[in-house]
Chain A
């Protein structure tokens, strides 16, 4: 156990999962993102994903997504999607909003299984996609025991 923890600190962030599962999770993440965007280009920027850098308990992680937008009828955020790389399913939440939101902000509490990528993607009314990502370190997983299969 001590060795395992040591390797997490020393090695790359994905050292907690076997490599074949890492590859499966990456492919699943890419697929759900493609499903949401329809293959459109996702550019970094305009989105701010607020998540604690160190998560002591992955069962309840407060996260907030803010998108820079004037939120007018002509230019607003249509949807905000959040994905995680290491959960058994990559989807976390898809929020649909419109110009009546006033501000493009959504907060939610998430379960995060393991240290890995968390991505927020915003779909704008003009059809463009913007994203932000974070790599929080999780010390207590949301899916202990065999939840990582």
Chain B
């Protein structure tokens, strides 16, 4: 159904700044397009991305229709401890997707 991918390094040194890339498969229908018959196609976008690191929120983003289809969002975090990163996407029409990634900090 909803396909989401995250790219997190499997291992990192303590204190290292790691790059996290997230990609969600979604059309991001803007709500400004019309069909051939002139009807507006209703808006259907992802509105929020949340990222938690061992339960603590480290990043969130509010998305708007101006974000391209299949939104790719990259950000960074400090590798503090081994554990899991959880990603959650929330959108229109009850869209919700989650993904987890584990990281080992040495």
Are A and B co-members of a single complex? yes
Binding site for B on A (CB under 8 A): 59-61, 64, 84, 87-89, 91-98, 100-103, 105-112, 142-143, 145-147
Most buried by A among B34, B59, B64, B69: B64
The residue that B33 contacts in the complex, of A101, A106, A107, A147, with Cβ under 8 A, is A147
Contact A106 B75 (CB under 8 A): yes
Which residues of chain B have a CB within 8 Å of any CB of chain A? Answer: 17-18, 21, 30, 32-34, 53, 56, 58-78, 80
Whole-angstrom distance between the alpha carbons of A67 and B55 in the complex? 26
Closest to A97 in B: B59
Q: A59-B68, A92-B67 are in contact. Are A106 and B17 (CB under 8 A)?
A: no
Q: Cα distance A84–B73 when bound, in Å?
A: 18
Q: List 15 A-B contacts (CB under 8 A).
A: A59-B69, A88-B30, A89-B64, A91-B62, A91-B66, A95-B61, A100-B56, A100-B77, A102-B77, A106-B74, A107-B74, A108-B74, A109-B72, A143-B30, A143-B32
Task: List, in ascending order, chain B residues with CB within 8 A of A95's CB.
Answer: 59-62, 73, 75
- B58: chain A residues within 8 A (beta carbon): 97-98, 100-101
| Contact present for B67 and A110 (CB under 8 Å) | yes
A110 touches B17 (CB 8 A): no
Residue in chain B with minimal CB distance to A103: B76
Partner of B73, one of A61, A108, A111: A108
Measured CA separation A117–B78 after assembly (Å):
33
Q: A97-B59, A101-B58, A105-B75 are in contact. Are A60 and B68 (CB under 8 A)?
A: yes
Give the distance to chain A from B12, nearest Cβ to Cβ, in Å: 11
CB of B49 to closest CB in A, whole Å: 9
If A108-B73, A110-B67, A111-B30 touch, whether A102 touches B60 (CB-CB below 8 Å) is: no
Q: Which chain B residue lies CB-closest to A143?
A: B32
Q: Are B66 and A101 in contact (CB under 8 A)?
A: no
Whether A93 lies near B61 (C-beta < 8 A) is yes
